[in-house]
Amino acid sequence: MVEKPEKLLIDGKRLDGRSPDELRPLKIQAGVLKRADGSAYLELGKNRVLAAVYGPREMHPRHEQQPDTAVLRCRYNMAPFSVEERKRPGPDRRSVEISKVIREAIQPVVFLEMYPRSAIDVFVEILQADAGTRTAGITAASVALADAGIPLKDLIAAVSVGKIDDTIILDLNKEEDQWGTTDMPVAIMPRKKVITLLQMDGHFTPEEFKRALDLAFKGCEQIHELQKKALRDKYSIKVEEGQ
């Protein structure tokens, strides 16, 4: 969409037909890569995100080993073909920052102290981008960590909330991200109900900020259910009738 649409919200519905508090269709699958120790694939609207976990494994370079804890490393990367105009391969400033905030969003739930001197690597690959890739990446990465069998205190569910045409909305799509007023990615520990990632740009009054945060929690609850389902689908043992 090159031109800004006149309205992003018509009769209470968004341009893709959703109501303000509705997520895009979300699909999460655990354990999709053979070589990785843990992995997950996620689709959220047109986002296609793959997360892989390697480790705990030996830390290279060795001088970065920590004698009392594992080190969590994250790499967020966008495929050159993931966006409209080809993205130059390799890390840019945006992806360096996003890698950092993803790591900081996930680290609170990982029992790193159980694996001294080792590294746990989390790779988030954006195959197709449709706004909200960092939060989709966090959601997928925490499923991949669980799939890798790494002890976690909780999962991490993440979603973006924002403001379009003075209305607070859940899970911005690309048009809403581009033309809307505000974008606020949030990650939470769903059971403890605390915030591990919070970024925001745009404009919020304090009241709008509170409402947006409440909406983010509601969205994350739904995401959390699908994360658990993805893990159950892979790991529950199916008992045939009559056995």
Partner 1 sequence: MSEVVSKVKRDYIVGLANQGKRADTRAFNQYREISVEKGLIESAHGSALVKMGNTQVLVGVKIERGEPFPDQPNSGVLIVNAELLPLASPSFEPGPPDENSIELARVVDRGIRESKAIDLDKLGITPGEEVWAVFVDIHVLDHDGNLIDASALSAIAALNNVSPPRIKDWTLPEFPLVKKPIAVTIAKIGDKLMVDPSLEEESVMDARLTITTIEDGSICAMQKGGIGFFTLEELEEAYALAREKAEELRRHVG
Contact positions vs partner 1 (CB under 8 A): 2, 93-94, 96-97, 99-101, 103-104, 107-108, 184, 189, 192-206, 209-210, 213
Question: Shortest distance, CB of residue 6 to partner 1, whole angstroms?
Answer: 18
Closest contact distance (angstroms) between CB of 40 and partner 1 is: 21
| Least distance to partner 1, CB of residue 109, Å | 9
The residues, ordered by sequence, that sit 6+ positions from 194 with a Cβ below 8 Å of its Cβ are 188
Residue 163 backbone phi and psi in degrees, to 5: -135, 125
Least distance CB 178 / partner 1 (angstroms):
9
**In which residue are the tokens 């909200």 written?**
132
Q: Pick the closest to residue 157 from 137, 128, 177, 183 (CA basis).
A: 137
Q: Which is nearer to partner 1, 64 or 201 (CB)?
A: 201
Q: Nearer Cβ to partner 1, position 86 or 193?
A: 193
Segments of 21-111 assigned E as strands: 26-30, 38-44, 47-58, 71-78
Residue whose CB is less far from partner 1, 20 or 185? 185
Residues 6 or more apart in contact with residue 63 via CB below 8 angstroms: none
With respect to partner 1, which residue has the nearer C-beta, 15 or 198?
198
Q: C-alpha 155: how far from its chain's center?
A: 11
Rounded distance between C-alpha atoms, residue 78 and residue 173, angstroms? 17
Cα torsion 88, 91, 94, 97 to 10°: value is: 170
Shorter beta-carbon distance to partner 1: residue 89 or 202 = 202
- As measured in angstroms, the least distance from the Cβ of 214 to partner 1 is 9
